[in-house]
Amino acid sequence: MKRAFAVIGLGRFGGSICRELTELGMDVMVIDKSEEKVNEYANLVSHAVVGNAVDETVLKGLGIRNFDHVIVAIGEDIQASILTTLMLKELGVQNITVKAQNDYHEKVLSKIGADAVVHPERDMGKRIAHNIVSNNVLDYLELSDEHSIVEIKASHKLDGRSIIDLDIRARYGITIVAIKRGKEIIVSPQASESIREKDILIVIGADSDINRFENKVMS
């Protein structure tokens, strides 16, 4: 079923979300106070509106509460981002995702009831840092301040060793939740599964434990 999304703010982040949602075949409405920005996206989406999101009558008039998900991608104007989120919440929008500019902004957004707060620059920075530090780390997803899911490329050091032989859970306190081997994906691999060089291990655990494992498998 087609779901309806509204994207408020068409900077690089909001614009990219809007393009991707359209590609996925979703109904998208965009709102930006800049006419130039709105014109840029007008041909792509079902509804493009020039308006100030801080104005409650604008949001009400657009029937914003009928959208399945609203993304607030107003960046620099933190006050406008907070006020917009607050109004969307008051108007009864079910799902609100907001882009945060800094940690303080993120805290306020969570307190006022944003369903998801994203911090793209910080998160991408962390992912790239992990990737730079270890060539074996392909991707990184933070679950909490201390836990992550990481994709690690198995080096020759692990080739032919089974999970039980490496005693990964006991020695490192982490769990291999899946192994990507070419096009095949082995979900919840058995302890007897042998790892091959170039396998991609998807591991979950505490960051410090994952780091110890990364150092061990570093080629």
Applying CB under 6 A, the residues found at the interface with ligand ATP are: 8-14, 31-34, 37, 52-54, 73-77, 80
* Minimum gap (Å) between residue 30 Cβ and ligand ATP: 9
Distance of CA 202 to the CA centre of its chain: 17
* Minimum gap (Å) between residue 76 Cβ and ligand ATP: 3
* Minimum gap (Å) between residue 121 Cβ and ligand ATP: 8
Complex with ligand ATP: residue 55 or 193, whichever CB lies closer: 55
Nearest to 59 by CA among 91, 11, 16: 91
Give SS3 for 130.
Answer: helix
Q: Would you say 147 and 206 are in contact if contact means Cβ atoms under 8 Å apart?
A: yes
Complex with ligand ATP: residue 97 or 211, whichever CB lies closer: 97
Nearest to 198 by CA among 216, 180, 176: 180
For ligand ATP, the nearest residue by Cβ is 75
> Which residues are within 8 A (CB) of 15 and not within 5 positions of it... i.e. 6 or more apart?
37, 40, 41
Nearest to 12 by CA among 48, 40, 42, 43: 40
Nearest to 216 by CA among 171, 179, 151: 171
* Minimum gap (Å) between residue 83 Cβ and ligand ATP: 8
Task: Please give the single-letter amino acid code of residue 156.
Answer: H
* Minimum gap (Å) between residue 72 Cβ and ligand ATP: 9
Q: Would you say 203 and 149 are in contact if contact means Cβ atoms under 8 Å apart?
A: yes
